[in-house]
Amino acid sequence: MGMKKNVTDNAVWVSKRENDIEILLSKTDDFMLLVSQKQLHLDIKLRIKRSYDIAMQEGPILQYLKLQIISSDTDISIDQTKHILKMLEPHIPKDSSFAATDIPFCTDQAY
């Protein structure tokens, strides 16, 4: 596909041409593709599908390696809440409830 392996991380492949950039992240049988333009995405998708039977996700909310990745025009956020809750499920009674908090640590003067 014309990509070069990153020298510090064997799971990262990069291609740069003028103002276009493609970044491919791979982990076992999962990969994530980041591109600078929609047409690059379409071209790479066609090249990959010629050789491999793959399932793909597209859109502002993606699941990748137990992460939920949410993107907008201005931000990208990574969330593991669903994965964490699933891991905790066997250890927390069904009728339990937790108080909501905006931050993980107390910040008032008493602490």
**Whole-prediction pTM:** 0.55
C-alpha neighbours within 13 Å on the C-beta side of residue 31:
18
Q: What is the DSSP letter of 92?
A: S
What is the per-residue pLDDT for 12?
92
What is the per-residue pLDDT for 55?
82
Tens-digit pLDDT profile for the chain (111 aa)? 678 898 898 889 898 888 888 888 888 878 888 888 888 888 888 888 888 888 888 888 888 888 888 888 888 898 888 888 888 888 887 777 776 666 666 666 655
How far apart are the C-alpha atoms of 45 and 22, rounded to whole Å?
12
